[in-house]
Amino acid sequence: MSLGEPKIKRALEWVLARLADDPRASRAALIDQASREFDLAPLDTDFLFRQLVEASRGGPPGLPHDGVR
């Protein structure tokens, strides 16, 4: 993982890695921890939460190519 990647992408990868290690982990707690660790703005934290909800519904986890929905 490159430090040049956007913070939100690194945070999403971080959360997904922790969920892979422990699928029963609290998503809310992981998102809270990631938002602090990666210094995410409130809108970025909301976006991260939406991405995880989409991934849990079977959608592809990850960011759109342009970073905007």
Q: What is the pLDDT of residues 17-67, one digit of tens each?
A: 999 999 999 999 999 999 999 999 999 999 899 888 887 777 655 555 444
> How is residue 3 written in tokens?
């430090």
All residues at 6 or more sequence positions from 39 whose CB lies less than 8 Å from its CB, including other chains: 7
Domain definitions of the chain by residue range? 7-56
- Which pLDDT score is estimated for 69? 43
pTM: 0.72
CA 35 to CA 2: how far, in whole Å?
18
CA 25 to each of CA 37, 52, 57, 67: distance values in angstroms, whole numbers, following the listed order: 17, 13, 17, 26
